[in-house]
C-alpha cells in the first residue's frame, strides 16, 4: 500500500484508482472530512445530498453531488450503480421518539444496503454506526444504530459489509461536542453528578483516515470495528478538564459544575415536549442523559489496526488546539 504522509504525520493510502464511490451523509460533519481525504486519494465521489431551499453545495474536484434521500430507494439505487464501494455515513443524532431515529438509522441503512446488494457487481459496503450501538437499550439513538447494523447484516449474505463503531467524534465543524468545549474554554463545565465513567474519543480526520485504510485493505468483510484516538483506557472527565485547561485556558483550572441528574432529566423531559410542540430536533433528551452517565464508553482499536495498519495520530490536546486554532501547550 502506497502511503502519503499528511501534516499530522499520518499515512494517507494513495489509491490513484479514479474509481467511483458512493457516499451518504456527505453534507454532514464526518462526511465533509471524508470527502476531502477521498478526493485527495484519487477517488471520484458520488455524494448524496438532500435538495433544500437555499442549500449551497461546494463545487469540489472529483465530487459529483447526487440529489436524493434515504427514503427514496430509486435514488439510492442510482447513487450506488457502478460504484466500487459505498460508505453509508448519513444518520440522525437528534430526535424526539423512536420513529425519528429508526426511519433514518435503521430503515435508511437497510435501503442503502439493499441498493448495494442489488448491483450486478456488488460494491463493498461500509456502515458508519456508533459505539452507542453497543448499548441499544440506553436511548432511541443507540437502539436505532444497533437495529441499523442488524438490518445491513440481514440484507444479503453476499454483501461485503463492514461496520465502524466510532466513539464520540470531535473536530472542526462538529456541533455536538462544541458546546462542551466552549464551556471548557470559559473555565466551567456543567456535568451530571455521578458522571464518573470513562469514554473514548476520536478526531474526525483520524476516523476518515480509518475509512481510507478500509478502502485500501481487503479482509475486513463481515467485521465490526470500534475506533478511538489511541488512548488506551479512554478518558475520564477530570482528564478532559485538565487537558482542556492546559490547551484552552493557559493552565487555569476548569471547574466542574455538578448538576443533579434528576434536574437534568427534568430539563431533558421538558425539552423533548417543547421539541415536539415547536418541531425542532432536541439534543438534550432523557436518552442522551442516560448515554452521558453510562460508566463505560471505552473501546479498543487493536483488531482494526492489526488488519489494516491504521494508527490514529491526534489526541484530545492536539484536536482541541486545532478546533480553536491554537498551538497545543507542551
Ligand X SMILES: NC(=O)c1ccc[n+]([C@@H]2O[C@H](COP(=O)([O-])OP(=O)(O)OC[C@H]3O[C@@H](n4cnc5c(N)ncnc54)[C@H](OP(=O)(O)O)[C@@H]3O)[C@@H](O)[C@H]2O)c1
Range list of H helices, 164-285: 178-186, 204-216, 237-248, 261-278
Distances (CA, A) of 286 to 135, 143, 179, 275, 297: 15, 14, 18, 13, 18
Contact between 104 and ligand X (CB under 6 A)? Answer: yes
Q: How far is the CB of 70 from ligand X (least distance, A)?
A: 4
Distances (CA, A) of 145 to 115, 127, 140, 200, 281: 19, 10, 9, 18, 17
**Phi-psi region for residue 260, left (φ > 0), alpha (ψ -120 to 50) or beta?**
beta
Q: How far is the CB of 251 from ligand X (least distance, A)?
A: 28
| Choices 78-86, 87-95, 237-245, 286-294 (CB under 6 A): range interacting with ligand X | 87-95
Handedness of CA 91, 93, 300, 12 (dihedral sign): positive
Q: How far is the CB of 223 from ligand X (least distance, A)?
A: 17
Residue of the chain from 91, 234, 244, 287 that contacts ligand X (CB under 6 A): 91
Which x/- pattern over 232-251 shows residues binding ligand X (rule: CB under 6 A)?
Answer: --------------------
Nearer to ligand X, 11 or 126 (CB): 126
| Choices 13-21, 37-45, 65-73, 301-309 (CB under 6 A): range interacting with ligand X | 65-73
Residues in region 165-204 near ligand X by CB under 6 A: 166, 168-169, 176
Helices H / strands E in the chain, number of each: 12, 15
Residue of the chain from 17, 39, 69, 223 that contacts ligand X (CB under 6 A): 69
Nearer to ligand X, 92 or 249 (CB): 92
Q: Quick count: other Cβ atoms within 10 Å of Cβ 231?
A: 17
Nearer to ligand X, 19 or 73 (CB): 73
Instruction: Reduce the DSSP state of residue 202 to 3 states and report it.
Output: strand
Report d(CA 178, CA 171) in Å as an integer.
9
Which x/- pattern over 3-32 shows residues binding ligand X (rule: CB under 6 A)?
Answer: ---------------------xxxxxxxx-
Q: How far is the CB of 95 from ligand X (least distance, A)?
A: 10
Instruction: Reduce the DSSP state of residue 40 to 3 states and report it.
Output: helix
Residue of the chain from 110, 130, 200, 271 that contacts ligand X (CB under 6 A): 130
Report d(CA 18, CA 41) in Å as an integer.
9
Residues in region 131-170 near ligand X by CB under 6 A: 145, 166, 168-169
Q: How far is the CB of 329 from ligand X (least distance, A)?
A: 25
Closest by CA position to 21, among listed 33, 35, 10: 35
Q: Quick count: other Cβ atoms within 10 Å of Cβ 278?
A: 8
| Choices 10-18, 86-94, 181-189, 238-246 (CB under 6 A): range interacting with ligand X | 86-94
Residue with cell 430507494: 73
- Report the interface residues with ligand X, using CB under 6 A: 24-31, 48, 50, 69-71, 89-93, 104, 108, 128, 130, 145, 166, 168-169, 176
Amino acid at each position: 500500500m502506497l502511503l502519503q504522509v499528511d501534516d499530522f504525520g499520518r499515512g494517507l493510502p494513495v489509491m490513484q484508482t479514479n474509481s467511483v464511490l458512493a457516499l451518504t451523509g456527505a453534507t454532514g460533519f464526518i462526511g465533509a472530512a471524508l470527502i476531502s481525504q477521498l478526493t485527495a486519494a484519487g477517488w471520484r465521489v458520488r455524494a448524496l445530498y438532500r435538495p433544500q431551499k437555499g442549500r449551497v453545495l461546494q463545487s469540489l474536484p472529483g465530487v459529483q453531488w447526487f440529489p436524493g434521500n434515504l427514503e427514496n430507494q430509486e435514488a439510492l439505487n442510482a447513487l450506488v450503480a457502478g460504484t466500487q464501494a459505498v460508505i453509508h455515513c448519513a444518520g440522525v443524532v437528534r430526535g424526539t421518539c423512536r420513529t425519528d431515529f429508526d426511519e433514518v438509522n435503521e430503515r435508511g441503512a437497510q435501503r442503502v444496503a439493499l441498493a448495494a446488494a442489488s448491483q450486478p457487481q456488488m460494491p463493498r459496503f461500509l456502515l458508519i454506526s456508533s459505539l452507542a450501538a453497543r448499548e441499544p437499550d440506553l436511548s432511541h439513538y443507540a437502539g436505532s444504530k444497533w437495529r441499523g447494523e442488524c438490518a445491513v447484516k440481514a440484507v444479503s449474505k453476499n454483501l461485503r459489509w463492514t461496520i465502524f463503531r466510532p466513539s464520540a467524534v470531535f473536530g472542526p465543524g462538529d456541533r455536538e461536542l462544541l458546546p462542551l468545549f466552549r464551556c471548557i474554554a470559559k473555565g466551567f463545565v456543567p456535568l451530571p453528578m455521578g458522571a464518573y465513567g470513562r469514554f473514548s474519543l476520536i478526531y474526525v480526520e483520524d476516523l476518515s483516515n480509518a475509512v481510507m485504510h478500509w478502502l485500501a485493505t481487503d479482509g475486513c468483510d463481515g467485521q465490526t470495528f470500534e475506533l478511538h484516538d489511541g488512548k488506551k483506557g479512554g478518558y475520564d472527565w477530570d482528564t478532559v478538564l485538565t487537558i482542556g485547561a492546559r490547551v484552552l485556558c493557559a493552565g487555569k483550572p476548569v471547574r466542574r459544575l455538578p448538576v443533579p441528574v434528576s434536574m437534568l432529566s427534568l430539563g431533558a423531559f421538558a425539552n423533548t415536549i417543547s421539541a415536539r410542540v415547536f418541531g425542532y430536533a432536541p439534543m438534550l433528551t432523557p436518552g442522551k442523559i442516560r448515554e452521558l452517565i453510562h460508566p463505560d464508553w471505552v473501546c479498543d482499536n487493536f483488531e482494526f489496526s492489526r488488519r489494516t495498519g491504521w494508527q490514529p495520530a491526534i489526541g484530545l490536546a492536539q484536536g482541541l488546539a486545532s478546533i480553536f486554532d491554537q498551538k497545543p501547550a507542551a
